[in-house]
Amino acid sequence: MNGTALRTLSEAAPLDLVSDFPAIPTGWAYLDTAATAQKPAQVIDAITRAYAETYATVHRGVYQRSADMTLAYEAARRRVAGFIGGQPEEVVFVRGATEAINLVAECWAGTQLKAGDRILLSTLEHHSNIVPWQLVAERIGAHIDVVPLTADHRIDLDAMAAMLTEQHKLVALAHVSNVLGSVLDARRAADLAHRQGAKLLLDGCQAVPRMAVDVAAIGADFYAFSGHKLYGPTGIGVLWGRTELLDAMPPYQGGGSMIDRVTFARTTYAPPPARFEAGTPHIVGALGLAAAIDYVEGIGLDRIHAHETALVREAREALKQINSVRLFGPEDSAGIVSFAVEGVHPHDIGTILDEGNVAIRAGHHCAQPLMDALGVPATARASFGVYNGPADIEALARGIERVTRIFG
């Protein structure tokens, strides 16, 4: 069912939404949603309409169309804030989660931390939640500690509780692992961090597309996610931060929009979030992100999570029937199944599956320390979205069986 109208679907009915996605042809099993989600017609239509009918700059023009686009852009900010349980003034539009985390590393950690302070990460973090902290730690003389995983590949919060000290000023963790699909007990992580006076940043890239997120209920201090994994456009992402933290942070970049007054002697800056949005923003990206939020909320995040959990269960059960397959991650992973086939490189798995119109990710998934911990150079990863169904699981299983036949 295409169009902009939101659905009123039965909670019990399985999702059958592939027709909403014009880039998914019949017979193609797209199982790489953790890398980037396909876009529904509703989002594509919103982007097209913005460029073709209503486009203008924001925050500058005094003419009516610019004023209207400014209202739409700020409405998108309010839409995002409501989606994650925050306030509009706490939402900063960025290019993606990578920029959001780098912004916090530069403007909060880079100004608040000192030599000898400690940052706590986990073994399963994406490179974008490792490298920014290494850069700032090297510059100021801080130290990084790493929380291990449990036997079923979750962040070990008991170990985290034992590791945390008053020297730890920041904890940065993935809400959902992009490799394993393991879900963090975010509320407990926040409580543990705050007990020692540390701030908590969550990488929500894999969480917001598949489960309801309430940053206030979690107790996070910063939350980052990308639009393109949430069925929205590329080039737009979100940093949510507590008001008092954003207020205390200096600008990330200098230029238009983030200023209060400029003289050659001194410049003063706008309050957040404008302080962190230098230059002309990705106006249409923000509108596309708002349309994507409308889309997923029209389906229901709880329903999406249940749908993807069922697909994970089916996929893991099907792959368990193949003797040479090794599965990673917990049984109840959120929308993601990583695996290896004995004696076969994941790139070969991906190539053979592609010959059968099955698209997966193969590689280290920007998580090389996790690969080292798992004892493998890479994994194959199937990840699901609202457009997937049992036929895609069957195609995946057939493809893996073909892999085992080819490689003996």
Provide the 8-state DSSP code for 6.
P
Confidence of residue 13 (pLDDT cuts 50, 70, 90): low
Q: Which of 144, 259, 366, 376 is catalytic?
A: 366
pLDDT in tens, 255-279: 989 999 999 999 999 999 999 999 9
pLDDT in tens, 171-184: 999 999 999 999 99
Q: What is the pTM of this model?
A: 0.95
pLDDT at 6: 35
Domains of the chain: residue spans and CATH: 18-30+300-406 (3.90.1150.10), 46-297 (3.40.640.10)
Mean per-residue pLDDT, 338-367: 98
pLDDT at 61: 83
Confidence of residue 408 (pLDDT cuts 50, 70, 90): confident
Residue 3 has pLDDT above 90, yes or no: no
Residue 2 has pLDDT above 70, yes or no: no
**Active-site residue flag, 366:** yes
Determine the Cα–Cα distance for residues 363 and 379; give it in Å rounded to an integer: 6
Average pLDDT, the chain: 95
Residue at 74: amino acid letter: E
Mean per-residue pLDDT, 289-313: 97
Q: C-alpha 45: how far from its chain's center? A: 23
- Contact predicate 403/34, CB 8 Å: no
pLDDT at 59: 93
Mean per-residue pLDDT, 13-33: 94
pLDDT at 1: 32
pLDDT at 366: 98
Residue 10 has pLDDT above 50, yes or no: no
Residues found in the chain? 408
Question: Mapping DSSP to helix (H, G, I), strand (E, B) and coil, where does residue 358 land?
Answer: strand
Task: Give the CA distances from residue 210 to residues 184, 206, 254, 346, in Å, rounded to whole numbers and listed in that order.
Answer: 14, 7, 35, 26
Mean per-residue pLDDT, 319-329: 96
Residue 251, preceding bond cis, omega within 30 degrees? no
Percent with pLDDT over 90 in the chain: 95
pLDDT in tens, 111-134: 999 999 999 999 999 999 999 999
Residue 391 has pLDDT above 70, yes or no: yes
Determine the Cα–Cα distance for residues 216 and 334; give it in Å rounded to an integer: 22
